[in-house]
Chain A
Amino acid sequence: MERKKIAAGVTLCTHKTNQFKTSAVSLNIITALDNKASEKALLVHLLARTNKDYPTLTQMNRRLASLYGAVLSANAIKLGEAQVLTLSLVSVDNRFALGGESILEEGIKLLMSCLFTPDITPDGFKAENLEREKRLLSERIDSENDDKIAYALKRMTEEMCCDEAYSISPLGTKDKIAEITGKDVFDVWKKLLLTCPVQINVTGSFDEEKLTDIIKPCFDRLERKDGDIVYPRTEFLSESYGVKTVTEKQKVQQGKLVIGLRAGMTYDMDNFAAIKVMNAIFGSGTFSKLFMNVREKMSLCYYCSARLVSQKGIIAVQSGVETENTQKALEAIRHELDEVRQGNFSDETIEAAKLSLKEAYLSVSDSVLSIDAWFTSQCLSGDFMSPEQYIAMTDGVSREEIIVAANMITEDTVYILESEKEAE
């Protein structure tokens, strides 16, 4: 795994291997998560749907089919308080091309043309494309809200970070999407091209020189300057100023409980390894306190786990419980965190946590998509780190450091989705 700079604000991450039968390319535009999130999310979806060479859905989809069913997709995620806009293409490896064509190079050319030559007029993105994409994005937001696990996590985050950019959804909001014009997206597109860091990830078998020859001129042509590139920053609140509780009611069968914790971090790698091991002991994995006690011993839930978002320094505990058991579960989760703070866990549990994290790091190199995701997860850090370096960090964590990390945690927000059952 390698990362290098190929143009102003443009880095190329490559993992060259014959291990897989497919290759993956992703083009990641890194921008601040701000009040233009809706426009940016809409933009990346527009770019992936059609372009000047393939201006209709059918033409674009036929082109992808001719590349042996290559899959082109768009996404907008948040990484700390950065919004990462991704265009990605997964295709079969060149050696399976029946006519000897280079599928990967053709795929990268297609991605470049999506980014640089969209189907636009001097006034901006065309109305028919815009309206279609506005509908599709709004429906995607609806669809996410229909997933109650995702919805509850999103609501907790909005409440916890209400004064921080992190509360902004990377897909935008339906209200804002409705108002966007073709000119708005056009302006955002122009600005992003000139000022945003871009990271391109390529995994598979390829000739690196050829890749660079396709990619580099596209960016050089824009006359991007190093001094103009804006790197997003994330605000870290290392501790909570008191617990906020928010309760909502919906007609659901199962209530949801999501607890937001501040992890005591002031930047993304601040005490990272110790917090990661601590979080595993507390709530990720079948050996964790939450699984062993809240699920297995108390039978309160099917899932109860803690997830560390190091790019923002927060931990989210998620569970699905009967509404009448909410307080019991909340107390049980708090109790387990206290147990970790007091050092009430065995050396075997520390070992299990480390082994499980190591397993996750080791398995990164076994899948095209996980390698791509690894590259993306590193796109904001100055130094690229490999999974092996993370393993070394994990190994070095001591019991004392875990306890210190647990004592840095403060509870911030409790979000409860109550089940409001109809009278039976």
Chain B
Amino acid sequence: MNCQLRKNELLNEQYYEIDHDSGLKIFVMEKPDYSGAFAMFGTKYGSVDTCFRIKGENSFTSVPEGIAHFLEHKLFESEELDAFERFSKTGANANAFTSFDRTCYIFQCSGNFKENLEILLDFVKAPYFTEETVQKEQGIIGQEIRMYQDNPDWQVLFNLLRGVYHSNPVRIDIAGTIESIAQINADLLYSCYNTFYNLSNMALSVAGNVTKDEVLAIADKMLKKENKTEFEQIIPEEDENVVQSYIEEALGVDIEKFALGFKENYREPVRTAKETLLMNIALEIIAGKVSPLYSRLIEEGLINTNFGKEYFTGRGFSLPIFTGESHSPRKVKDEIIEEIEKLKEKGIADEDFEVALKKLYGSEIYRYNDVDDLAGNMLDAYFNGSDLFEGIALYKTVTKKDVEDLIRNSFDKNNCCLSVIK
């Protein structure tokens, strides 16, 4: 077992990174002044993983849309007490979520930590699926899908993804469709589980009022050594251009929602911490609250306080997005593009760069406040091939020119899509 202590002096924080003998990567941040602890057990497996085979197998398996999320729901069940029933005896607050490129199982507790961690490691590593329990879940998830279909903020994003990507699986709804989940059966669930829930593809991250030794004692007890499962995936070729420049859907909303995304074409599937920081600075300068554009759009009545910007990235996709509500989304799009073109031509003012940097430095510090964020951020950084403290160290190294170059490369007015919900 290899254990390293990583420190950051500015933040006065440290955490352990452990290569456990079982093959699992473990992160622990001890925070004795908190009353609770948060644990996250995750796998690098999400809705984008739709076609794969274990190395050596003859053929690839194509799975129905939404199966990673379905599997997440089903893992809570077991032959005896399901995981929720077990956690209800310890008082932990347990949950799980599936995103495009990962699935995570979590709990938060202020007592009985060791027992809770035992339950977490046990139920995630003990799949139990039968045809009956699969059928039962189709009703519940069917309603989850329906609920999201009525959520305009969710729909405007997925429509955007379908307007930007031709074949990248990020365009698929995370929960799938009522039709696609009807095709899920126990065998397919086991096939996904056996491929992606190998400890070498997973990580455990814990932050809060616990010690590294407590975590390791439970890991030693619960986890058997696993040989690494190697798998291959078919990643469809993606055209460089967006599918369409405008996509709309009518949901009968009181105020129209929009999302504007600029397609990027990187060869490497995952964005580095530096690329992410540069993009966040760029977005702040283009349309952050301190930008002239933001004030102008508010004063002109084109956006409201639900306006935002985000670098939407994960394994295999990266898309800077502007979202909001407006009575004229097309005008908002025109003004954003005009601002970007101006920045491309004239560059960024020194003062604007400094203000944006100071603001983002502040928001970076916010990420070190709550135990759930800490555990989540350690795991995210690892899955993205980075480490937790890389982000804050980068603030000293980025330059205005880096950001100007990025704006020139990543915002092509002829390769963007506007999605609108009416």
Q: Which residues of A contact B (CB under 8 A)?
A: 17-22, 56-58, 61-62, 64-70, 90-93, 96, 132, 135-136, 139-140, 142-143, 145-149, 250-254, 285-287, 295-296, 299-303, 320-322, 348, 351-352, 355-356, 358-360, 362-363, 365-368
Contacts and interface: CB of A to CB of B under 8 A. Distances in A.
B255 A146 contact: yes
A365 B35 CA distance: 7
B176 to A, nearest CB: 14
Given A17-B33, A65-B358, 6 more contacts: A21-B11, A22-B369, A147-B151, A286-B87, A299-B136, A299-B138
Given A363-B110, A368-B369, A142 B91 contact: no
Given A65-B358, A366-B370, A351 B147 contact: no
Contact of B34 (A19, A66, A67, A295): A19
B368 A21 contact: yes
Contacts of A252: 150
A57 B253 contact: no
A250 B252 contact: yes
Given A92-B362, A143-B255, A61 B289 contact: yes
Interface stretch (B21-29, B159-167, B258-266, B297-305): B297-305
29 contacts: A21-B365, A22-B365, A57-B294, A57-B295, A58-B295, A65-B359, A68-B359, A92-B365, A132-B298, A132-B301, A135-B304, A142-B254, A143-B306, A146-B255, A149-B147, A254-B143, A254-B147, A296-B140, A299-B138, A303-B147, A322-B146, A355-B89, A355-B90, A356-B91, A359-B36, A363-B93, A363-B110, A366-B371, A368-B369
Given A139-B255, A299-B136, A302-B140, A352 B88 contact: yes
Contacts of A19: 33-34
Contacts of A285: 88
B385 interface: no
Given A20-B369, A22-B366, A92-B365, A363 B136 contact: no
B306 A21 contact: no
B344 to A, nearest CB: 22
B60 interface: no
A413 B419 CA distance: 39
Contacts of B298: 57, 132, 136
Nearest to A363: B36
A58 B351 CA distance: 14
Contact of A65 (B251, B305, B355, B365): B355
Contact of A320 (B33, B143, B257, B358): B143
A365 B371 CA distance: 12
Interface string B359-401: 1111101101111000000000000000000000000000000
A254 B254 contact: no
A68 B362 contact: yes
A355 B93 CA distance: 10
Contacts of A250: 252
Contacts of A358: 91, 110
Nearest to B175: A302
Q: Could you say which interface size class chain B belongs to?
A: 35 or more
Contacts of B111: 359, 362
A148 B137 CA distance: 23
Given A21-B365, A21-B368, A57-B298, A366 B36 contact: yes
Contacts of A148: 150-151
A254 B150 contact: yes
B133 to A, nearest CB: 10
A253 B150 contact: yes
B17 interface: no
B269 interface: no
Contacts of B47: none
B88 A355 contact: yes
A355 B84 CA distance: 13
Nearest to A367: B370
B93 A356 contact: yes
Nearest to A351: B89
A88 to B, nearest CB: 14
B110 A359 contact: yes
Contacts of A20: 369
A57 B305 CA distance: 12
B109 interface: yes
A366 B35 contact: yes
A359 B109 contact: yes
Contacts of A58: 290, 292, 295
A68 B358 contact: yes
Contacts of A356: 88, 91, 93
A296 B76 CA distance: 12
A146 B152 contact: yes
B363 A69 contact: yes
A21 B369 contact: yes
Contacts of B92: 359
B298 to A, nearest CB: 6
B281 interface: no
A246 B93 CA distance: 35
Contacts of B108: 359, 363
